[in-house]
Amino acid sequence: MKRIAIIGAGPSGLSQLRSFRSAEEEGADIPEIVCFEKQSTWGGLWNYSWRTGTDNNGEPVHNSMYRYLWSNGPKECLEFGDYSFDEHFKKSIPSFPPREVLKSYILGRADNSDLSHMVKFNHVVRNISISKDTGKFNLRVTDIENNTDLVDIFDIVIIATGHFSVPNVPYFEGIENFMGRVMHSHDFRDAAEFNGKRLLIIGSSYSAEDIALQSMKYGAKEVICSYRSAPMGFRWPSGIEEFPIVERFDSTKSFFCNGSNREIDAVIMCTGYLHHFPFLQKNLRLNTNNLLYPGQLYKGIFWLDNPNLIYLGMQDQYYTLNMFDAQSWYARDVLLDRIQLPSRESMEKDIKNWMQREIHLKNPTQEIEYQTNYCKDLVELTDYKIDYDLISKQFIKWEKDKDEDIVAYRDRSFISPVTGTQAPAHHTSWWDEMDDSYGSFIGKI
């Protein structure tokens, strides 16, 4: 029987564990699986931490989430095919839950599936290399609680360590002389810190958009978002403006490439994250930007040069939880010999084809349809079931809602692709709702 190591018990690792459990429930013999998780509990990024920098064991803090984070996509677009929100909460809840509510849903499926005995918590994977003699993977892992290193051998390694944790921090001339606070979104925790402040946000993607909005919501004086490629172009609430890229700083000001400058109090770099796998032998490391189809991976998961190495969740993400499921179900079926991988040549051709198609995508609608087709392609040969066409339509609607009103898009309601239920409206608009606690959101429907 093959031995499988999964690195990381975030949503992707949990999807993989759940996929094997579901096969087992239907009578399949499953391989021995060990999931190594460096944190003391599962949930990955959803496991919010107040800490920044290093944790109590001196390990880098994985968390990039912040106190008032709410889902930025409709929950109906990330719903698990085999575990609905209605089943978890025993009632319908609104479409854009806050962080704690989504975490409860993600962990609910894991709790109900009896997965914890497969996970070694507080275990940091330090090194993975391939034995030249056997072709198997040698793992060196630190057991943090016992302060010991263990070495183990596996046939298959599944990397589920996420790619939104290690910040990409570019340099800007003079920033070392700027007197205010400078941070990356990875370390952003509480928008209230910027009450009354003038903020410069660098970047023009989801973190920039959301941190700009919630900083205004919690009392920032003004926010400038500085873009490298293109402005986000939303109809912003008063106080938020977009400027082209900042070129340099002095002690109090930022200077932009259009010749203008502004006094600011703080800088938040929302400049994305690195795909970073220092624990992997160099020639096994996925090296990519944040793309819908990272190269080197057949079906977006199998390492082309050695398909015994699998990566989950390494894509830029419109789809999240049910895409991780699609990947995990497909990988599981290959590992259970239910699906055969084609020749290396065919895999390479397939990767090139998907990558070429990504280059020609012109707008978010096309990107959503592309990632929908990717998910549908994966589940076609598996028994994973969810209505990706309905999800796709709802993602496209969500994009339009944001264009119409970036402040109110979280007040809209969507239909579950699992139960067909239309979500109720939240009692308070997102902009006016300052209480994001579980009790407030779930209790007052």
Q: Note the residues at the interface with ligand NAP (CB under 6 A).
A: 69, 71-72, 164, 168, 170, 185, 202-208, 210, 228-229, 245, 270-272, 290, 317
Q: Residue 203 interacts with ligand FAD (CB under 6 A)?
A: no
- Of 130, 155, 152, nearest to 141 by C-alpha is 152
* Segment interacting with ligand FAD, rule: CB under 6 A, options 5-13, 335-343, 353-361, 374-382: 5-13
* Segment interacting with ligand FAD, rule: CB under 6 A, options 64-72, 219-227, 341-349, 350-358: 64-72
Contact 369, 376 (CB under 8 A): no
Of positions 62, 109, 275, 332, contacts ligand FAD by CB under 6 A: 62
H or E element that contains 151: strand 148-154
* Segment interacting with ligand FAD, rule: CB under 6 A, options 157-165, 226-234, 380-388, 411-419: 157-165
Contact 17, 35 (CB under 8 A): yes
* Closest CB 394 distance from ligand NAP, rounded Å: 16
**CA max distance for the chain:** 68
Closest to ligand FAD by CB, 49 vs 252, is 49
* Closest CB 273 distance from ligand NAP, rounded Å: 6
Closest to ligand NAP by CB, 228 vs 400, is 228
204 binds, among ligand FAD, ligand NAP, none (CB under 5 to 8 A by kind): ligand NAP
Size of the site for ligand FAD (CB under 6 A): 33
Going residue by residue from 300 to 339, which x/- string records binding to ligand FAD, judged by CB under 6 A? -------------x---x--x-------------------
Find the angle CA(87)-CA(91)-CA(94) to the nearest 5 degrees.
110
Closest to ligand NAP by CB, 188 vs 354, is 188
Cβ partners under 8 Å of residue 382, min gap 6? 326, 329, 330, 332, 333, 339
Q: Is 203 helix (H, G, I), strand (E, B) or coil?
A: coil
Length of the chain: 445
253/287 Cα distance (integer angstroms):
35
294 binds, among ligand NAP, ligand FAD, none (CB under 5 to 8 A by kind): none
Which 120-139 positions form the footprint of ligand FAD (CB under 6 A)?
Answer: 124-125
* Closest CB 180 distance from ligand FAD, rounded Å: 22
54/339 Cα distance (integer angstroms):
42
* Closest CB 225 distance from ligand NAP, rounded Å: 9
Closest to ligand NAP by CB, 31 vs 237, is 237
Question: In degrees rounded to 5, what are phi and psi of residue 138?
Answer: -100, 125
The alpha carbon dihedral of 100, 387, 313, 272 has a sign of negative
Tokens 């939104």 correspond to 164
> Side-chain half-sphere of 133: how many Cα atoms within 13 Å?
2
Record the tokens describing residue 177, joined without a space.
Answer: 């002389």
- Of 128, 184, 131, 129, nearest to 161 by C-alpha is 128
* Segment interacting with ligand FAD, rule: CB under 6 A, options 42-50, 240-248, 288-296, 397-405: 42-50
DSSP letter (8 states) at residue 130: E
Binding site for ligand FAD (CB under 6 A): 7-13, 36-39, 44-46, 62, 64-65, 69, 71-73, 78, 124-125, 160-162, 164-165, 279, 313, 317, 320
